[in-house]
Structure 1
Amino acid sequence: MSTLLSTRALSKRFGGLTAVHEVDFDLPEGEIRALIGPNGAGKTTFVSMLIGRVAPSAGAVVFDGQDVTGLPAHSRVALGMAYTFQITSVFARLAVAENVALAARRRLGRDRAAVREATARALDRVGLSDRSGALAGDLSYGHQRLLEVAMGLAQRPRLLILDEPTQGLSDSEIAAFKALIRGLAAETTILLIEHNMAVVMELADTVTVLNFGEVLAEGTPAEIHASAAVQAAYLGTGADA
């Protein structure tokens, strides 16, 4: 299995604070990888460097064999990365379908028929076809999260990075989300940053644990669940990763 995304000695300092310290990370193509860690562990900073929103202080990011460390976010999207934000970033005053169409046009340009087809397919995958004409701002928070996933899918990414995708979802919506991710796993590599440990343990092939900006542990969900080091890092934080 080839490596789709990797980092070497990736680091980020903000003044005197080291948020991420020399992280080596390898994500094989076709895997569902979960990235977890206590609050303040450096997860958001690490992912922001992966997608080009934050420039690293040192180290490298390689995507599909290409060093993308110096590329801006939109160039990484063009190469096949898609990212959903921890806080929803939908266009509230546009219709649900138009939000997805905007994302699809990044890949398909002005081919209207292709954009319509990609939009319809993405909305169907996340269960929002019946809300296509609604304003995005009128959706519930949970449905806005699913709309973001649809916007990512419309770009047909090779890597889909989902930041806290189940936040704000009801139990039934989480169940539907898990089924969605299982279906997507055959099409794209998935990096999941997630607090819901039940979701992590059920979906992930491999779990990477960050703590104080460094990789604390990496392994199967069962190995991570049994790790004394991981349990100690979460002591006092319950199951909140």
Structure 2
Amino acid sequence: MEIVQRILVVEDEPSIAELISINLSHAGYQVEKALQTEVALNIMQESLPSLLILDWMLPGKSGVQFARELRANERFRSLPILMLTAKSDEADKVLGLDSGADDYVTKPFSPKELVARVRAILRRQLPLEETGSVPLSVGPLRLDPLSHRVTIVIPDCDSATVSLGPTEYRLLQFLMSNPERVHSRASLLDKVWGNEVYIEERTIDVHIKRLRAALAPTDSDRFIETVRGSGYRITKIPTQT
């Protein structure tokens, strides 16, 4: 029996929430709606959705603040978040992504584009075809696709588990499956996001930053290197000491 993916829409404008709900329902998703973050949190505590569509401007608590709180919570850290807002400046997009969003859609939006982005985000949670179920290892990093777990293994130290959002996990999985190779932003968009015409290359930098931040407590962020003018790579022997 096919499992229907459940999406929670946090939007304080009922007409917009209904528009989103109708289009996602027609696309085969189960949709719940909340007008504010407190209601959304109660819903998520009872049952975790497959994806959260989150408006930026909400009464009481902004979507940006709520996203940050979710990313700081172990239970909700891996929940995919799509930020929805009228703010369209690049600085606002970066702020939205930095807060923990996996993608960013500006109002007014195309319902077809919104559904396409939802599908893309949910697709990113699936294991990469190139690696299948084979465990990956680069330096101290260990990634197990079956358990969806990333650990840091350092001799004479206890191993540490790294908690990643779905996009950062998929990005790390691709880099680890192709070590020592430099990947351009365009290549990463194609391989990790999957020919997503809506995603901007600037998004890559934000997710690399978030991935490095998650690895930094164990000093493992240095294994992900920036190759100026070319892109990014993961290396077994970092030049940074």
Normalising by the residue count of structure 2, what TM-score does the alignment of the two structures yield? Answer: 0.31
Higher relative contact order (CA 8 A, sep 6+): 1
- Tell me which protein shows more strand as a share of its residues: 1
